[in-house]
Amino acid sequence: MKIMEGEQMKSKLVLLVPILAGVFFVGSVRADISSTITKVKPSVVIVGTYKSTNSPRFSLRGTGFVVGNGSVGGSNLVITNAHVLQQPAEQDVEAALVIQLRVGKDEVQMRPATVLEVDKLHDLVLLRFDGPPAPSLSVRDSSAVQEGQAIAFMGFPIGGALGFSPVTHRGMISSIAAAALPTPSAQQLNEKTIRSLRGGGSFDVFQLDGTAYPGNSGGPLFDPETGEVLGVVNMVFIKGTRESALTNPSGISYAIPSGFVLQLLQRGKAN
């Protein structure tokens, strides 16, 4: 009888250990993403336009994030999508380009910004903003990113309709596939474009299983454990090239690999 009781106790312990391990694992994952969000949040900015005579004076265009320039104490450089800077026909083209960043817990500052470098091929742009530097994110080489890898992304979905506090989503890389570029018009043809077309006119992008919204465009796709940038969320340029045959847009979201961000940063430093 005692032998049977001992065996039953061992069986219960064997069952209990995986359960406790699972609880510990879930708790540690939640703690990791919470600390990563705290780390990433100060580097995520709103990109928009401002003019004192407009109503509203500020217009949100998308999300951006501060990237390092090798200096100590932060940076004044921001990465976002190039299409974020394109002015809708109904807006004032004279409105100034600005970014809004959070300083401290409650204060939000608006800073004038200028364009340093544009990569139209990959829909990326490098900006510099005025004033003191802000905390920057580290950009990782995306060549090692794999399908099934866990990711997170942060931004201001639906044009700030949910408020101007950055929102975080989690997901994974569901596919790494080529994004075919639209054929340029005769006016857009140049040596660089011709070389790209000869090379197939496409580049690899990350397809995500998490749903992003237009206001997320330009926001960082990052490693949920380290906060390192793996890509740039894109809701217009890539969706238009990959899903142009669809009558209704799908819930699929995309991101531009961070390798192209590193190339843009190198060109910006060279200039």
Residue 105 lies in a domain: yes
pLDDT at 215 over 90: no
119-157 per-position pLDDT tens digit: 988 999 999 999 999 999 999 999 999 999 999 999 998
229-248 per-position pLDDT tens digit: 999 999 766 655 555 444 45
Measure the CA–CA gap between 61 and 87, rounded to whole angstroms.
9
In this structure, the answer to whether residues 193 and 225 fall within a common structural domain is: yes
Measure the CA–CA gap between 219 and 46, rounded to whole angstroms.
9
CA 247 to chain centre: 26
In this structure, the answer to whether residues 171 and 93 fall within a common structural domain is: no
In this structure, the answer to whether residues 241 and 153 fall within a common structural domain is: yes
Residue 71's CATH number: 2.40.10.10
172-214 per-position pLDDT tens digit: 999 998 876 554 444 544 555 545 545 545 789 999 988 888 7
Q: What is the pTM of this model?
A: 0.78
Measure the CA–CA gap between 178 and 180, rounded to whole angstroms.
6
Measure the CA–CA gap between 271 and 214, rounded to whole angstroms.
31
